[in-house]
Amino acid sequence: MNDVRKPRVQDNEPPRSESREHASRVDELADERATHRPERFAPWVRPSSLAAPDPRPGFVQRWIRVSMKGEEDPRNVNMRTREGWSPRPISSVPDDFFFMASKTHEKGGHFVVDDLMLCEMPRETYEQRAAYYRNMADRQMNSVEEDLDRVQVEGAPIHRSRKSTVSYPTRPIVGRSVEAADD
């Protein structure tokens, strides 16, 4: 004898599936909503066209312009390369980082978005570079101080204030704030 199981059907009751026992699709959907809670999503933030993966350990990174108005800019790339920046290989980008890169195959597998290429530099080199530019700025400020001391007339001192002030009323910030590069 064949052991075939048939769903039990009582009078005026629609057949039920063996996997779920729901009288109707509405009940099935209600049950599905109750058991499958919606995932929590991160709050919406304005998207950045320059989103980049986190820097690799021991490196800092920044975007370098490779073209402007559709024309290649090798001079800028060469200058940044001489400063110590090198293109970040696309193979070093984690697989879970989603991006819409363009021209990656044309640039030898580098991470390029629009007219910008993601470059990196070892942290030690970056800190030496930053110290060099800080020293240069300090020397310039010392030179200005010496010039002011030299031209100052007795009885009419030159007022030196290193604090900037705003003379107009502050306005509310509209749009997103833009951060300048620290180099």
What tokens does 115 get? 């007219």
Radius of gyration of the chain (CA): 32
Please indicate whether residue 143 or residue 114 has the higher confidence score (pLDDT): 143
Residue 21 has pLDDT above 50, yes or no: yes
The pLDDT tens digits for 86-142 are 998 888 887 777 666 555 545 567 888 888 889 999 999 999 999 999 999 999 988
Please indicate whether residue 161 or residue 10 has the higher confidence score (pLDDT): 161
Helix (H/G/I), strand (E/B), else coil: 87: strand
Give the pLDDT of residue 61.
Answer: 93
Please indicate whether residue 165 or residue 52 has the higher confidence score (pLDDT): 52
| Buried residues in 90-127 as b, exposed as e (16+ CB within 10 A) | beebeeeeeeebeebeebeebbbbebbbbbbbeeeebe
> 28 near 89, Cβ under 8 Å?
no
- Domains of the chain, by residue range, sit at 59-122
| Mean pLDDT over the full length of the chain | 75
Whole-prediction pTM: 0.55
The dihedrals phi and psi of 118, each to the nearest 5 degrees, come to: -75, 120
Sign of the four-CA dihedral 77, 118, 58, 133: positive
Residue 181 has pLDDT above 90, yes or no: no
The pLDDT tens digits for 39-50 are 667 788 777 767
If residue 81 lies in a helix (H) or strand (E), which one and from where to where?
Answer: helix 74-83
